């Protein structure tokens, strides 16, 4: 099969889109973003260019996560006020996708929990305990996230400056993560697990710097 | 499903890794170029003018005016630190003190690798440890930072820990680049634990109201020397001997109990020497009488060979001295024994501390060759303050004589024995607990 090709309305560069679930592409040459909306291609304009080289992951990288080959399709960066974190968008060799959250060089593989009731944002604070699907989590941080920029291919349109409230929690044994995004009603809930360094193998590790 | 092309997922089929390039900013104070190695840095200290700069997107602001106290660090910003074959780099240094004691310094280095993240290298009294942030939490109700030294806790992974100490740090120096804005004077509470088994360390800190957790392990001087390519001797900022922090283990507990037992035995021994004997004279001698030579009332000793203890007490001696001359005289007015000594007592406040020197009493011991009736012949001179000489006495004294006393040598020997045992126990404890690779 051949990939779908998108032409950047700003610079004319052609971008192959391999995964049919992709809804947004940021031009790697000029930083212009385009997305699909009801079968129409819309121009989102120039986005902030994210610096590269400061992480194990990078757009276009290939590697193996828990024995599964993947390629990094894109990334979104969010600010939480006194810092930022990255959401890396991965495509596995079987066509399925996943999000890897990177916060201060710690990586967590997260999956969406469907129809999971969570407490209202106002009731959460650092140290608060909540039980999701029978597992206890301790809230580590609550705040408002702001999108600082994005790159590559993404599943959903997201624009620089978009904001939403969030709560991040961790299981007390330090193994699992919980992210609640109060961007929609009901809130979106992701459950994940911290990834050990050895569970992720990059084809180019970048250990020599 | 994906447009299937397995070659996209093949080994090394991806894009070439973008090169790591640190950011370079200009110091708003002196204009010098400053490397910012970690893109998460929120604060950097200019290596040229020591300006503390806060980094915001599109904005650099100076956050601290004036000079900051300088501390010596064995490691420099930019030094390499190789751990398990991976090269990290020192990108920030901090010095913390406790209880405003500038000799009680903990030095902390932030080690950075663009793909592996950050590690903390700590040095306290020449002992190094390495740690990393963790999400592992203690299974503990209440304020974990109030745990006392020696208490056992458990973390949610089942590991059991012994509290090794807690306190409150005050930041006194920072340079390099940090992922938060740190200012000298910032305070943080901490509590440290050592694993019951193995050599792992666990730490909880409360910074700006939030708890942070760290997992680490000690590093021997040889490991640090290998990691930094520096000589062991140059890694100890204060030339302190290499010691591991002590903590209460079963071995320590037994050592402490053994020490306590020796202390108790020796105190009983000492007490026995104090109470032994029979008082045969207890008399006050007025100051005026001591200006000349004066006799005490007679007293009798019934057992030859008994040890006589004569105690001279000067209750009102205050920042002054008294020279006492005495003689033991028998019923035939023959001098059996003479004794003399200086009794002095000085005290005061200096730099907020109370000090004292000397005592208000003195004891003399000697063995009596035969039983009989005896008297003491006494004479004294005294002086105030730093007056070196005097020919008169201004202090009343109290004289007490006991026979059948136990010589102080036994008590002194007991105290020395106790001290030696204490040192031995500490040494044994050190052999068991101190790790010096």
Q: What is the pLDDT at residue B249? A: 53
B20 to A197: CB separation less than 8 angstroms, yes or no: no
Instruction: Judge if the upstream peptide bond of residue A186 is cis by omega within 30 degrees of 0.
Output: yes
> Quick check: B307 and B407 in contact, CB under 8 A?
yes
| Three-state secondary-structure class, residue A142 | strand
Q: Where are the domains of chain B?
A: 72-172+182-247, 251-272+414-433, 277-405
Which residue out of B13, B14, B116 would a mutagenesis test of the A interface target, given it has the greatest number of A Cβ atoms within 10 Å? Answer: B14
Whole-angstrom distance, CA of residue A54 vs CA of residue A35:
27
- What are the CB-based long-range contacts (under 8 Å, 24+) for B333-337? B335/B377, B336/B368, B336/B369, B336/B374, B337/B366
Percent of chain A with pLDDT over 90: 69
Residue A42 distance to chain B (closest CA, Å): 23
Cα separation, B400 vs B285, whole angstroms: 11
User: Is B137 close to A140, i.e. CB distance below 8 A?
Assistant: no
pLDDT at B431: 61
- CA B406, distance to chain mean position in Å, is 37
- Give a yes or no: residue A203 inside a domain: no
Using CA atoms, how far residue A130 sits from A167, B104, B330, in Å, is 11, 41, 92
A207 contacts in B (CB within 8 Å)?
86-87, 113, 115-116
CA distances from residue A108 to A85, A161, A176 in whole angstroms, order as listed? 11, 24, 8
Kindly list the averaged pLDDT for each block of 10 residues, start to end, along chain B of length 437. Answer: 73 91 91 92 90 85 69 92 95 91 89 94 93 93 89 94 92 92 90 93 86 94 94 72 43 73 80 83 93 92 83 93 93 90 89 84 86 92 83 93 76 71 69 47
B307 φ/ψ sector (left φ>0, alpha ψ -120 to 50, else beta): beta
What's the CA gap between A209 and B109, in Å, rounded?
20
How does B381-402 read in b/e, with b if 16+ C-beta sit within 10 Å? Answer: bbbeeeeeebeebbbbbebbbb
- Chain B contact set for A138 (CB, 8 A): 137
Mean pLDDT score, A174-185:
92
| Residue B68, pLDDT score | 64
Nearest to A16 by CA among B6, B10, B3, B17: B3
Q: Which residue has the higher pLDDT, A199 or B371?
A: A199
Please answer yes or no on whether A2 and B3 come within 8 Å at the CB atom.
yes
Task: Find, among A106, A175, A163, A164, the residue nearest to A138 by Cα.
Answer: A175
Residue A165 to residue B349: CA distance in whole angstroms = 60
Higher pLDDT, B195 or A114: B195
3-state secondary structure of A11: coil
Return d(Cα B199, Cα B193) in angstroms, integer.
10
Residue partners of B141: CB distance under 8 A and separation at least 6 = none
pLDDT in the model for residue B238: 62
User: Beta-carbon neighbour count of residue B359 at 10 Å?
Assistant: 12
How big is chain B by its Cα radius of gyration, in Å? 35
- Number of domains chain A is built from: 1
Residue ranges making up the domain that contains A144? 4-51+58-198
Q: What is the mean pLDDT of chain A?
A: 91
Domain B277-405 has CATH 2.60.120.380: yes
Distances in Å between the Cα of B253 and the Cα atoms of A196, B35, B250 are: 38, 51, 5
**Can you tell me the distance from the alpha carbon of A32 to that of A13, in angstroms, rounded to the nearest whole number?**
10
Q: How far apart are CA B330 and CA B337, in angstroms?
A: 10
What is the complex's ipTM, to 2 decimals?
A: 0.87
pLDDT at B365: 87
Q: Is A81 near chain B, with CB under 8 Å?
A: no
């Amino acid at each position: 099969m051949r990939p779908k090709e998108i032409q950047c309305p700003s610079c004319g560069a052609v971008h192959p889109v391999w995964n049919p679930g992709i809804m947004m592409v940021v031009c790697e040459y000029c930083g212009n973003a385009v997305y699909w909306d009801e079968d129409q291609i819309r121009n989102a304009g120039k986005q902030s260019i994210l610096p590269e080289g400061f992480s194990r992951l990078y757009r276009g990288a290939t590697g193996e996560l828990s024995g599964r080959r993947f390629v990094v399709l894109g990334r979104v960066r969010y600010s939480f006020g006194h810092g930022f974190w990255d959401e890396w968008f991965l495509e596995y060799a079987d066509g399925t996708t996943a999000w890897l959250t990177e916060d201060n060089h710690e990586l967590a593989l997260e999956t969406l929990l469907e129809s999971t009731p969570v407490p209202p944002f106002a009731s959460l604070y650092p140290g608060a305990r909540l039980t999701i699907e029978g597992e206890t989590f301790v809230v580590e941080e609550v705040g408002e996230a702001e999108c600082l920029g994005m790159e590559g291919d993404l599943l959903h349109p997201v624009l620089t400056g978009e904001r939403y409230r969030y709560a991040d929690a961790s299981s007390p044994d330090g193994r699992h993560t919980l992210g609640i995004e109060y961007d929609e009603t009901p809130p979106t809930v992701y459950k994940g697990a911290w990834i050990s360094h050895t569970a992720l193998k990059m084809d180019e590790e970048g250990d020599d710097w | 499903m994906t447009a299937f092309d397995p070659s996209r997922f093949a080994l090394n089929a991806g894009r070439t890794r973008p090169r790591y390039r640190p950011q370079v900013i200009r110091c708003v104070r002196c204009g010098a170029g400053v490397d910012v190695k970690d893109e998460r840095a929120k604060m950097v200290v200019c290596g040229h003018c020591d300006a503390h700069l806060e980094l915001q997107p599109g904005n650099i602001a100076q956050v601290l005016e004036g000079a900051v106290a300088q501390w010596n660090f064995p490691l420099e910003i930019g030094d390499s630190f190789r751990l398990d074959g991976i090269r990290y780099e020192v990108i920030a240094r901090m010095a913390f003190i406790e209880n405003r004691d500038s000799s009680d310094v903990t030095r902390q280095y932030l080690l950075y690798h663009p793909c592996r993240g950050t590690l903390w290298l700590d040095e306290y009294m020449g002992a190094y440890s390495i740690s990393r942030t963790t999400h592992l939490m203690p299974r503990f109700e209440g304020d974990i930072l109030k745990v006392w030294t020696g208490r056992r806790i458990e973390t949610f992974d089942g590991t059991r820990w012994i509290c090794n100490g807690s306190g409150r740090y005050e930041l006194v120096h920072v340079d390099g680049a940090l992922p938060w804005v740190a200012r000298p004077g910032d305070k943080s509470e901490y509590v440290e634990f050592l694993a019951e088994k193995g050599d792992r360390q666990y730490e909880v800190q409360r910074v700006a109201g939030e708890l942070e957790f760290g997992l680490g392990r000690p590093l021997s001087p040889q490991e640090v020397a290998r990691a930094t390519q520096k000589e062991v001797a140059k890694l100890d900022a204060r030339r302190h001997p290499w010691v591991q922090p002590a903590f209460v283990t079963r071995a320590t507990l037994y050592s402490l109990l053994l020490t306590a037992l020796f202390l108790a035995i020796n105190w009983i021994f000492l007490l026995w020497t104090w109470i032994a004997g029979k008082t045969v004279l207890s008399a006050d001698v007025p100051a005026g009488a001591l200006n000349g030579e004066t006799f005490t009332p007679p007293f009798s000793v019934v057992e030859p060979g008994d040890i006589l203890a004569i105690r001279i007490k000067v209750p009102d001696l205050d920042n002054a001295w008294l020279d006492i001359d005495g003689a033991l005289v028998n019923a035939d007015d023959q001098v059996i024994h003479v004794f003399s000594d200086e009794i002095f007592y000085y005290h005061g406040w200096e730099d907020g501390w109370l000090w004292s020197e000397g005592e208000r009493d003195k004891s003399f011991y000697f063995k009596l060759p035969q039983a009989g009736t005896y008297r003491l012949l006494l004479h004294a001179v005294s002086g105030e303050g730093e007056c070196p000489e005097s020919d008169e006495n201004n202090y009343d004294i109290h004289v007490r004589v006991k026979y059948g006393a136990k010589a102080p040598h036994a008590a002194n020997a007991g105290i020395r024995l106790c001290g030696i045992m204490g040192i031995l126990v500490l040494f044994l404890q050190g052999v068991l607990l101190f790790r010096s690779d």
